[in-house]
Structure 1
Amino acid sequence: MTELYLEDFTPGQVFHSGRLRVTAEAIVAYAAEFDPQPFHLDDAAAHGTMFGGLAASGWHTAALTMKLLVGSPFRPRGGIIGGGMEELRWPRPLRPGDEIRVEIEVLEVRPSKTRPQQGMLRVRCTTLNQDGQPVQVIVPNLVVPRRP
């Protein structure tokens, strides 16, 4: 896939990732290592919580989103390098059996005033489940090289 320079992006442009199915085993394995809370580790224990059943850690959702972003046609030259996060929300839980995809919308393209070789790209990345419902919304600012 072609890597894109800052000048290749325009506000309103939309990119789509592939899809990824999430298993209960993956949810539990991630939680056991990085976020060992009962609603991420055990379905029975999770039933007594606000989630009402096993739910992936938000950080697991973020990691899966990154995996989908890196494999998508959204290819800033040099990689997806963050320059800060404006928004991070998990509007609903990611569940076992969910199949997710990411929609990436370019919100703003801003050449740097102090570093002429680069600029900032502001995007909204919405991670959607199989029903088209958002499970995560992030709005990062990304550092992207300008065309030499």
Structure 2
Amino acid sequence: MAGLFFDELTIGQVFKHEIRRTITEADNVWFSALTHNPAYLHLDEEYCRTETEFGQRLVNSAFTLGLMVGISVGDTTLGTAIANLGWDEVRFPKPLFHGDTIRVETEVVDLRESRSRPEAGIVTFLHRAYNQHGDLVAQCRRSGLQRKRPS
């Protein structure tokens, strides 16, 4: 099992995830179409070239969020998560474009025992995604219910 148990995590622990991902046009168009998001910002190259400050299509931020969290799973919660409890403080300080490559870091920012489940604890992660230039492009806090190591 790749993920860590609640009792193996410490506040301040940082994971620099090895997986990196270059985002393609297909990723962006497919995700936008699957989620019924018709925003011109993701689908209409001509509109973005002539009507926006970016001059090109932006990667769908919901895709960015999912990819950022997904990259973190193998090192943190794979096989040890019981449930995702929520995403808070989701931010996208800079846009992503087709061809950008992201890398992700995760920091454990809070740990607390579950009041209702003695076999689990609640962990809060701060996920941060950077593009190939080192610019912060996304971040969020994610809380999850995590298994404790079996006794």
Offset at residue 22 of structure 1 (A): 0.7
Q: String of CA shifts for 1:33-83, please: whole Å, max 9, x gaps.
A: 32221110022211212443210111111222233123x322354337311
Equivalent residue for 2:89, pick from 87, 90, 98: 87
> How many residue pairs are counted as aligned between the two chains?
147
CA distance in 2, matches of 1:15, 1:80: 20
TM-score normalised by structure 1 residue count: 0.88
**5+ residue gaps, structure 2:** none
In the TM superposition, 1:51-62 aligns within 5 A as 51-62=54-65
Offset at residue 32 of structure 1 (A): 2.6
Offset at residue 30 of structure 1 (A): 1.9
TM-score normalised by structure 2 residue count: 0.87
**5+ residue gaps, structure 1:** none
Aligned residue number for residue 109 of structure 2: 107
Distance 1:3 1:33, change over 3 A: closer
Pair 1:124-2:126 in alignment: yes
Query: What percent of counterpart residues are identical?
Result: 32
Q: String of CA shifts for 1:16-37, please: whole Å, max 9, x gaps.
A: 2210001123212222332221
Q: Is the 8 A contact 1:124 1:140 kept in 2?
A: yes
